[in-house]
Structure formats: structure tokens, C-alpha cells
Amino acid sequence: MKQVQQVQVVSIFTIEIDGNPTLAFEARNMTEARGLCKEQWLLEDLGALSSGGSTLCGVGAKLAVRRATEGESHVYREAEQSVPASDDLVLAYLVELDGFDHQG
């Protein structure tokens, strides 16, 4: 009996907060990607982070998911390359985060 190897197809998606592209990540499909927006841990993280002195995700902010643009996908792939391989979800921020040294 021949074994068929299943390949996991993933796409890169972007979460926009109040219309601003904020982070890119991988998901199997749009349903899975939209589900990430409802995760309490993510909402708490976004509420604790800031960019340009403003909280990324304040109370009442509107989160929307869409497929990432080519440029956003590139940012994601670079971020993915810079972290050790694991099964953890990689989130690539598309905005400068306050309080982080980007020099490496």
C-alpha cells in the first residue's frame, strides 16, 4: 500500500486594527485566521503593546483579517527566518513597537 504524504498548505494573513495593517501570521484558511482575532491572549498582548505612543488595540478597536500583501508576506518570512524553528505561532508586527530594540 502506497503512503500518501499530506502537505499542509498555509497562507499568510494580516490583522488590521482600525484599518491599519498591524501583524502578519500563517493560518490554514480564513476561518482559522479570523479565529485568531478572538483569542484572549492576543487581544491582551495587543492591548499591552504600543506604537508611536498609542496602544495597538484599545477598547472598541475593530480587528479585521485579510490575506497579506506581497510586502507583508515578505516581512512575515523575514521574521519567521529570525526565530528558532518550533511549532509556535509566529507573529510578525508590521508596525514599529515602542520599547523594542530592533538592532538585534
pLDDT at 101: 54
Q: How far apart are CA 103 and CA 90, in angstroms?
A: 19
Cβ neighbours of residue 26 closer than 8 Å, sequence gap 6 or more = 10, 11, 12, 13, 76, 80, 89, 90
Dihedrals phi, psi of 83, to nearest 5 degrees: -110, 150
Is residue 103 very low, low, confident or very high in pLDDT (cuts 50, 70, 90)? very low
Each residue's pLDDT tens digit, 26-67: 999 999 999 998 999 999 999 999 999 999 998 889 999 999
| Residue predicted with more confidence, 10 or 102 | 10
The H or E element containing residue 26 is: strand 20-27
Query: Who wins on pLDDT, 36 or 2?
Result: 36
Report CA dihedral (35, 29, 45, 38) to the nearest 10 degrees: -10
The string of pLDDT tens digits covering residues 3-30 is 655 556 689 999 999 999 999 999 999 9
Cα distance between residue 40 and residue 27, in whole Å: 18
- pLDDT mean over 83-104: 78
